[in-house]
Chains A and B, each alone.
Chain A
Amino acid sequence: MLELNNLHVSVDGTEILKGIDLEINPGEVHAIMGPNGSGKSTLASVLAGREEYEITEGDITYSGADLTELDAETRAREGIFLAFQYPVEIPGVSNTYFLRSALNAIRDHRGETPLDAMDFLSLVKEKAKLVKLDEKLLKRPVNEGFSGGEKKRNEIFHMAVLEPKLAILDETDSGLDIDALKIVSEGVNALRDGERSFVVITHYQRLLNYIVPDFVHVLKDGKIVRSGGRELALQLEDQGYDWLETEPATVGA
């Protein structure tokens, strides 16, 4: 589904990702862990199509096509979803309207007819329950006045409505208490259907107790320095990231 091949990425002339190789198949959950500044969020942004990131070497293939050719909105319509680390407040634009525009843009891209207001409303209510999102937040401007936890739940709610093929969760666990973390994780797990793939970016192992990954990759200084199964995350929890300096790197999933 997604294949990164020797991916090098720079921002303002500074190289952040220094040769990433990664292959994600349908239905897989990949966790990307690593210390602050290792390039985790850059990876998420590049996949979502943020324009200030320059790919200097390597390529990204998504569903057999060159992903770098597509702008951010086309990627979203092709099924890529990024749950933001810091969801953006959009004053004046209601959460429901925003989501309906997004969903209909995606449906239009797939050659489907737009959902009418009634069908959309019942869909939205059903999905809001999934992440226990207060219905009053549907009418409010996107993320405006939402608590930190509500913002993160709203991201998962958007994901549930838009039903992407590949969901990238960028530190969705940061700032969440354990109850909110469980709700978010349950929302994500409900969307695991054997076809949809996930990239779960996190600094902490804790999230992976709830969203159990198939693969764990450790990103350090712009490179994947180690890949393994779920047990790698537990090892990192015990030993931190420093021990990886001394071990030989094994690259690839």
Chain B
Amino acid sequence: MSQTATTAETFIDGLDAGIGSIEGESEAILALRLEASRSFAATGVPTPKQEEWRFTNLKALAATPHDLGGPATADISPWRLTDSHRLVFVNGRFADTLSQIGELPEGVTIGSLATALSAENERAVFALGKGVDLESHPFAALNTANFVDGAFIHLNRGAVVEKPIHLLFVSVGGDGPIWSAPRNVISADPTAQATIVEHYVGTGGETLTVPVTEFQLAPGANIKHVRLQEEGRETRHIALQTSRQGRDSRLESVALNVGAALSRTNIDAELGAPGAHASLDGLYLVEDAQHTDTQIKVRHAAPHCTSHELYKGILDGKSRAVFNGRIVVDPGAQKTDAIQSNRNLLLSAGALVNSNPQLEILADDVRCTHGSTVGRLDEEAIFYLRSRGIARSTAESLLTYAFAAEIVQEIPVAEIRERMERHLVERLPQGELAREAF
């Protein structure tokens, strides 16, 4: 037996896994869980020998038995938005009493995925797992086999949700390490429109969060999405986001990674019909020994699609960031317009970035650009500010804040934008002064 499989088995046992099920879920879902379980057993916990995991080592995780998190309660007041449709999940389980869905426009379903599946909601059953490549994503396989609940959002044709939909996932640590596997399915019918906040937080303790979020956008659908990961510093967070888009649909997604000891976010985006646009931007802000890893694959499968990726990183202490971006342009996906850029700012000598943008272009009439930079604050700019009387520490904070601002200003929900600004302020010596500038 190979070393990989051995670790996987230990891990599975530890995770109290096998497969889970939801009361009343269909045979099809059960079959999918079985397939996922087998897939995970075969691949196991990835090791750095695998190219996609070269810089993110899960040895410590694989050696740590985790129990599936049980029902718990939490004080969510620090994370509440003042005006939203809110669904709360604690350790991956729907928390009815903490949620406040409120009044919904006609043709909009927002609720627990488990409820939808046990009611054999056709949309939920149909959408689940469609965009997930289990073999490429072992943790998504683990999620598929074991998920207990998550959010299900369905927007009928033309439905418009004005208020943000706030999906709040709280990890509540216990005596020993626990894990959870939220599963979210979001499907938008033609020309539907909504803003979704996917928000991961924790109350402390050693936890593992393995979320999978699937988007399906029908022609002309328009989804704004912000993913804020601000879990506790003892958490590992290993996520997959997939999106499949129809003609002229638009997905604008911003991923913010601030928390967790280790975070890994895979994004698989597919532009499947002409005129679709995906903007997948992000900001990671790490310090101390934090490790963050972003892997994005954008597949242009049809002509005349556009994609935009701008990822910025600010690293302090001995933190580490990995960025792997891949743009794949299928044969025939002519007039593709794809931009990918990863820019990193190192605030300390001990921080490290591995950035690797890649293009795979199989069409000949396309415009694709990619690039990455890793650098420090511009000393010339610092001197310029100082020469006008501004203290060095203020100058440094101001420039760092300005570096992040491009992404922060894109965040579609004001309160989330402010949360991110506060994270920046807390990390910078003269952050409060710098914040006033924006």
A: residues with CB less than 8 A from B are 48-50, 71-73, 75-77, 81-82, 84, 87-94, 97-99, 101-103, 105-106, 109, 141, 158, 162
Contact = CB atoms under 8 A, between A and B. Distances in A.
Nearest to A77: B389
B389 A106 contact: yes
B11 to A, nearest CB: 44
Interface in B405-438: 405-406, 433, 436-438
B398 interface: yes
Interface of B: 378, 380-381, 383-392, 394, 398-399, 401-403, 405-406, 433, 436-438
A98 B387 contact: no
A97 B437 contact: yes
A48 B387 contact: yes
Contact of A87 (B384, B391, B398, B401): B384
Given A84-B384, A90-B384, A97-B436, A73 B402 contact: no
A82 B406 CA distance: 30
B402 A105 contact: no
Given A93-B399, A101-B394, A88 B384 contact: yes
A105 B402 CA distance: 19
B385 A90 contact: yes
Nearest to B402: A92
B437 A93 contact: yes
A99 B390 CA distance: 9
A126 to B, nearest CB: 19
User: Main SS of chain B's interface residues?
Assistant: helix
B387 A76 contact: yes
A102 B389 contact: yes
A49 B402 contact: no
B379 to A, nearest CB: 9
Given A73-B392, A88-B381, A101-B394, A94 B387 contact: no
Contact of B390 (A81, A87, A92, A101): A101
Given A92-B405, A92-B406, A76 B386 contact: yes
A190 B394 CA distance: 31
A73 B383 CA distance: 9
A92 B388 contact: no
Contacts, number: 80
A103 to B, nearest CB: 8
A73 to B, nearest CB: 5
B402 to A, nearest CB: 3
Nearest to A142: B384
A73 B386 contact: yes
Contacts of A99: 388
Contact of B391 (A73, A75, A94): A73
A99 B385 CA distance: 9
A91 B378 CA distance: 11
Most buried by A among B380, B386, B438: B386
Contacts of A87: 384
B391 to A, nearest CB: 5
Contacts of B384: 84, 87-88, 90
B55 to A, nearest CB: 29
Contacts of A103: 389
Contact of A102 (B390, B392, B405): B390
A76 B388 contact: yes
B437 A73 contact: no
A71 to B, nearest CB: 7
Contacts of B383: 50, 72, 88
A105 B389 contact: yes
B110 to A, nearest CB: 36
B38 to A, nearest CB: 50
Given A71-B386, A92-B401, A105-B390, 8 more contacts: A76-B388, A88-B381, A88-B384, A92-B406, A93-B402, A98-B437, A101-B433, A102-B389
Q: Give 3 closest A-B pairs by Cβ, nearest first.
A: A92-B402, A76-B389, A102-B388
Contacts of A158: 388
A45 to B, nearest CB: 9
Contacts of A88: 378, 380-381, 383-384
Nearest to A93: B402
7 contacts: A72-B383, A72-B387, A88-B384, A91-B402, A92-B401, A92-B405, A101-B390
B389 A109 contact: yes
B32 to A, nearest CB: 46
Contacts of A48: 387
Most buried by A among B381, B390, B391, B394: B390
A49 B384 CA distance: 11
A97 B380 CA distance: 19
Most buried by A among B389, B392, B438: B389
A162 B380 CA distance: 20
B386 A72 contact: yes
A89 B385 CA distance: 11
A191 B380 CA distance: 27
Contacts of B388: 76, 81, 98-99, 102, 158, 162
Contact of A82 (B378, B387, B391, B392): B387
Contacts of B405: 92
Contacts of B402: 90-93, 141
Contacts of B394: 101, 105
Contacts of B436: 97
Nearest to A83: B387
A98 B402 CA distance: 12
B389 A162 contact: yes
